[in-house]
Amino acid sequence: MELIIGSHVSYKKEEQMLGCVKEALSYGANTFMFYTGAPQNTVRAEIKCEKTKEALALMQEKGMELKNVIIHAPYIINLANPKTSEFAVNFLRQEMERVEKLGITKLVLHPGSHVDVSREEGIKNIIKGLNKVIDKTTKVTILLETMAGKGTECGTTFVELKQIIDGVNYNDKVGVCLDTCHIHDAGYDLSQMDEILAQFDKIIGLSKLQCIHINDSKNERSSHKDRHENIGYGCIGFENLLSILYHEKLVHVPKILETPYVDKEYPPYKFEIEEVKNKKRNDNLYEDIRNFYK
């Protein structure tokens, strides 16, 4: 089976999902992930059905499958803190409606930061919030993302994520998105991928792992920083990232790049996807990208 690989792409008011598909194709991707609007605010454009139809037709023509497409929930949603949880529940509910309207089934969500309440309390609030938005009619699967442990983030270990999943009544609609930069920053050693996956399987169950964010990290293991780096240019390294990209147990899982733009201007994804497909690090990555977009 072919590697399922894509990147973060932008969703614009006019072209909507059609624009996402076109951008993904320009990178040589066979899937993609997007925010339905700016992640830091609540402004959302009405979804245009005709654009969705055009997007789906283009995807079919190019062999892209909707089940591999990911939406990332806005990161202003924080279910963990009681001061923000009501807003978070309402906005998450609206986001899930938009996801369903687009026919997409996977929504990545940061579990939340507990801020000024205890971690235990934070986890309880996340569970409470998820139980308000997920019922037996829910079609979308919420993928809780593994977090780096920056500030007071919850969901930094597989055990914590399992605790959340166990508290949700309809938890067949809850899965996990594993972010390589985040787990590295949280303390997992990515040179031991078999060991990590064995742990994940034992604690959560591998069938729950439904999306992987592929990012290198600017910082050393256990730094709790969450700063993404381009593939092969950070502290995780190219070989370790390949070991998860091509892991035999993860063949069916969509892999999404969220690596930084070069010079804050040029998307690296076309070149990184090429590197990954060739299984060879591009030692000239930054120059190649600048030359291509200049």
Residue 258 C-beta: closest distance to Zn ion, Å:
7
CA separation, residue 84 to residues 122, 144, 165, 256 (Å): 11, 18, 21, 28
The residue (of 180 and 223) whose beta carbon lies closer to Zn ion is: 180
Residue 161 C-beta: closest distance to Zn ion, Å:
14
Residue 81 carries which DSSP code?
Answer: S
The residue (of 145 and 275) whose beta carbon lies closer to Zn ion is: 145
Contacts with Zn ion by CB under 5 A: the residue count is 1
Calculate helix-pair angle for 238-245, 269-278, nearest 10 degrees.
80
Residue 182 C-beta: closest distance to Zn ion, Å:
8
The residue (of 215 and 282) whose beta carbon lies closer to Zn ion is: 215
Contact between 185 and Zn ion by CB under 5 A: the answer reads: no
CB within 8 A of 201, min separation 6: which ones? none
The residue (of 184 and 285) whose beta carbon lies closer to Zn ion is: 184
Q: What is the CA radius of gyration of the chain?
A: 18
Q: Which residue is at the shortest CB distance from Zn ion?
A: 145
Residue 26 C-beta: closest distance to Zn ion, Å:
23
Residue 206 C-beta: closest distance to Zn ion, Å:
20
The residue (of 145 and 272) whose beta carbon lies closer to Zn ion is: 145
Residues 40-69 that bind Zn ion (CB under 5 A): none
| Residues facing residue 83 across a β-bridge | none
x/- letters, 118..147, toward Zn ion (CB under 5 A): ---------------------------x--
Residue 292 C-beta: closest distance to Zn ion, Å:
27
Residue 69 C-beta: closest distance to Zn ion, Å:
15
The residue (of 23 and 145) whose beta carbon lies closer to Zn ion is: 145
CB within 8 A of 85, min separation 6: which ones? 78, 79, 125, 128, 129
The residue (of 75 and 246) whose beta carbon lies closer to Zn ion is: 75
| Residues facing residue 214 across a β-bridge | 257
How many other CB atoms sit within 10 Å of the CB of residue 5?
Answer: 25
CB within 8 A of 139, min separation 6: which ones? 100, 105
H or E segment and range at residue 61: helix 49-62
CA separation, residue 214 to residues 13, 19, 33, 158, 253 (Å): 27, 22, 12, 18, 12
In the block, which residue shows the tokens 């190219």?
A: 238
Q: Which of 194, 241, 196, 197 is nearest to 216 (CA)?
A: 241
User: Which residues lie near Zn ion (CB under 5 A)?
Assistant: 145
